[in-house]
């Protein structure tokens, strides 16, 4: 059970977290609004749509700033405790520094758990709406690829005839560039049905589908059976995987199932695995960052100068940012397993914190 002192420390850290969160959120919101306005310049996008884009994109930005918020929120809480000599009073009651930081570690761990369990599904909905608005008003293109548990759907244009078609494939390989048991429905420029093609297999090449064992059913003609044809398309081989949903638009509760669907259909699910393991490692990472903040401010007194420690904090956070990007790059290219890529960050952070604590202890004993 927590004592009154533990609850007091929790209150301090939670207040500092909320203050840091609100400040960073305000900065991010204003910055993203300016960025969305810049992207919409010259495209006659109404200001209310720009505001909607900012609102729907904002929760996803929090995903990237939660670790930073946790780190600097912890620093703020520790500074308050040291400046007000509260840490000395608490130590004088026989409570060690490690017991002071323990409630904060538990608090931030549960903030991470609550985020991935409750906030993440809502963020996925917001991000999906943001993607739809961005496609409609900024990119000015329709989303042409969709994957469901039943197979792959593609919207494309025949570059020879100018007809639009919707292609459905029950099975795929090679990230959608090889499809099996497919059906293609053609429509004219007025959206009226023009014909249908069914086939057993098709290979996507640069500028065309190579279709095998096909059945062509025109609107006003007899069905024709052919062994092989070339069907012109505006889709490139790399476009299909690029056109699929962003991992951030899928909640953590659906990610495992969606990854299975992707792999069954022959797609690389590496980005989705990176996102899944990134979410799973988040509570551990932000708790590790709190421990790192504690290690930096361990042993400081009310009259000590904090400038060097704050500068060290900034250097460390940039270093960790660099390592995180490096690990993400290695994980995204399958050079290391996504699980290792994401869970290495909490381990590295704790390792650095332990080194700092050991150096502080040696300095205290005047060994170095």
Least confident window among 34-43, 49-58, 117-126, 130-139: 130-139
Confidence at residue 153, expressed as pLDDT on a 0 to 100 scale: 82
- The answer on 341 and 223 residing in a single domain is no
Share of the chain above pLDDT 90, in %: 35
Which value, in Å, is the radius of gyration of the alpha carbons in the chain?
27
* Residue 162 or residue 358, greater confidence: 358
Rounded Cα distance between 282 and 293, Å, is 17
Most confident of 100-109, 253-262, 303-312, 326-335: 326-335
CB 291 within 8 A of CB 353: yes
Which backbone phi and psi does 47 adopt, to 5 degrees? -65, -30
DSSP conformation letters of 120-131: HHHHHHHHHHHH
pLDDT of residue 123: 86
DSSP state of 326: H
Residue 252 covered by a domain: no
3-state secondary structure of 347: helix
Q: Determine the Cα–Cα distance for residues 52 and 287; give it in Å rounded to an integer.
A: 33
User: Which of 242, 273, 295 marks a domain boundary?
Assistant: 242
Residues whose CB falls within 8 Å of the CB of residue 183, separated by 6 or more in sequence, listed in order: 167, 168, 169, 196, 197, 198
Q: Are residues 134 and 270 in the same domain?
A: yes
Q: Tokens 């005047």 sit at which residue?
A: 366
Give the Cα separation of 193 and 363 in Å (integer).
80
Q: Would you say 104 and 9 are in contact if contact means Cβ atoms under 8 Å apart?
A: yes
Chain segment 131-153, per-residue pLDDT in tens: 878 877 776 555 567 776 677 88
**120 and 231, same domain (yes or no):** no
Q: Closest by alpha carbon to 230, among 212, 253, 248, 245?
A: 212
For residue 163, count CB atoms less than 10 angstroms from its CB and return exposed for 0-12, middle for 13-18, buried for 19 or more.
middle
17 and 124 housed in the same domain: yes
Please state, in angstroms and rounded to a whole number, the distance separating the CA atoms of residues 289 and 71: 5
Confidence (pTM): 0.78
- φ, ψ (nearest 5 deg) of residue 212: -125, 145
The strand ranges marked E within the chain are 145-148, 151-157, 164-173, 178-187, 193-205, 208-218, 224-232
pLDDT category, 71, cuts 50, 70, 90?
Answer: very high
Query: Which of 177-181, 252-256, 260-264, 354-358 is the least confident region?
Result: 260-264
Query: In residues, how long is the chain?
Result: 368
pLDDT for residue 368 is more than 60: no
Residues 130 and 10 in one domain: yes
Is residue 26 scored above 60 in pLDDT? yes
Helices H / strands E in the chain, number of each: 10, 7
Residue 248 within any structural domain of the chain: no
The residue range of the domain holding 163 is 145-242
Is 120 found in the same domain as 83?
yes
More confident site: 139 or 112: 112
- Tell me the C-alpha distance between 32 and 65, whole Å: 13
> Nearest 5°: CA angle at 131, between 128 and 134?
150
**Tally of structural domains, the chain:** 2
- Give 228-268 pLDDT, tens digit per residue: 999 988 887 766 766 667 788 788 888 888 888 777 767 77
Please choose, from the candidates 70, 36, 77, the residue with its C-alpha nearest in 3D space to the C-alpha of residue 297. Answer: 77
On whether residue 231 sits in a domain, the answer given is yes
Residue 299 predicted with pLDDT over 90: no
Last residue of a domain, one of 182, 207, 242: 242
């Amino acid at each position: 059970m927590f004592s009154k002192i533990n609850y007091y420390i929790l209150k301090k850290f939670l207040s500092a977290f909320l203050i840091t969160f609100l400040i960073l959120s305000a900065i991010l919101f204003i910055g993203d609004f300016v960025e969305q306005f810049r992207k919409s310049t010259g495209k006659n996008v109404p200001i209310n749509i720009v505001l909607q884009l900012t609102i729907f994109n904002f929760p996803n930005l929090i995903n990237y700033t939660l670790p930073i918020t946790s780190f600097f929120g912890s620093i703020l809480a520790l500074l308050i405790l040291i400046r007000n000599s509260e840490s000395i009073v608490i130590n004088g009651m026989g409570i060690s520094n490690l017991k002071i930081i323990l409630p904060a570690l538990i608090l931030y761990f549960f903030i991470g758990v609550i985020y991935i369990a409750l906030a993440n599904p809502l963020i996925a909905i917001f991000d999906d709406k943001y993607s739809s608005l961005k496609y409609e008003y900024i990119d000015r293109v329709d989303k042409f690829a969709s994957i469901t548990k039943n197979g792959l759907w593609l919207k494309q244009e025949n570059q020879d005839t100018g007809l639009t078609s919707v292609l459905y494939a029950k099975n795929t390989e090679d990230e959608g560039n090889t499809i099996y048991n497919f059906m293609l429905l053609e429509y004219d420029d007025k959206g009226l049905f023009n014909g249908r093609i069914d086939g057993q297999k098709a290979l996507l090449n640069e500028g065309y589908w190579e279709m095998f064992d096909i059945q062509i059913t025109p609107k006003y003609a007899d069905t024709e059976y052919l062994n092989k044809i070339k069907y012109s398309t505006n889709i490139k081989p790399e476009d299909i995987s690029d056109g699929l949903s962003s991992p951030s638009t899928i909640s953590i509760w659906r990610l495992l199932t969606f990854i299975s669907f992707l792999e069954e259909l022959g797609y690389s699910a590496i980005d989705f695995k990176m996102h899944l393991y990134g979410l799973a490692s988040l509570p551990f990472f932000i708790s590790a960052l709190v421990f790192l903040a504690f290690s930096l401010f361990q042993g400081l007194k009310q009259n000590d100068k904090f400038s060097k420690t704050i500068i060290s904090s900034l250097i460390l956070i940039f270093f960790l940012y660099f390592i995180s990007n490096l690990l993400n790059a290695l994980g995204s290219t399958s050079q290391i397993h996504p699980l290792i890529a994401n869970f290495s960050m909490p381990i590295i952070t704790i390792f650095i914190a332990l080194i700092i604590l050991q150096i502080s202890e040696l300095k205290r004993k005047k060994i170095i």
